[in-house]
Structure 1
């Protein structure tokens, strides 16, 4: 695994593994169900990913939409690809909704709704919260 994936807590935060991608629970939750979708390769430029990684991205994003739709009934999904601090190809995925959502003992409001997400408002999860939320979210993942 590349350093970016490890920085986001792999394997403890792992929700789903694909051949070319991993889906991780974001340790700092901006909205309930915030994720990191990270390429398993060492690519630091989106255009450098393999054709197979691009093809599999369709399945990973469809699964994310289905899982988060079931789990938090989001109104929008925001994918942010910044790669300014963590260089390997990855997206921050934020389910967006009006109001708040709760699961596994964690309640989070979308404080920026309906505007752009404010990354400074993320809530860093305690280890027990991280484990409980990851387990809960895995239960919503498509088979």
Structure 2
């Protein structure tokens, strides 16, 4: 089996993977990073969203071997250095941007990328950016509210 090495949430991690192993499966089963969720296995729901070399990626769409040498950030890498929630994560908590929480890691990762590229996104931009992320509980209103709060727009 091929061995891969990635910079995972700031630390170098290595592991052996079969060529057909999806990145999401390597994260969860190979590295024990279970914050990245498997929702649909068809790239529809966005629950498995991570950042690979600074790009927002649904980790069920790429093989782990394709990420060899890459810098990968998962939801576990989003907290502040002292372990507290970052501003976006705290806004989700403060504005009840989650209910069951299954979609939350993917939502946070997607919104973090949007906010990085567009520091003050409009409500329309937020809703448009979340088009590839499905939430079956919240109706998105409080997710959008959390994103606006995280960007000091509430």
Give yes or no for TM over 0.5: no
Q: Which has the higher contact order (CA 8 A, sep 6+)?
A: 1
TM-score class, shorter: under 0.3
TM-score (normalizing by structure 2):
0.24
Compare the two structures and name the one with the higher helix fraction. Answer: 2
Specify the structure having the higher radius of gyration (Cα): 2
TM-score (normalizing by structure 1):
0.26
Compare the two structures and name the one with the higher strand fraction. Answer: 1
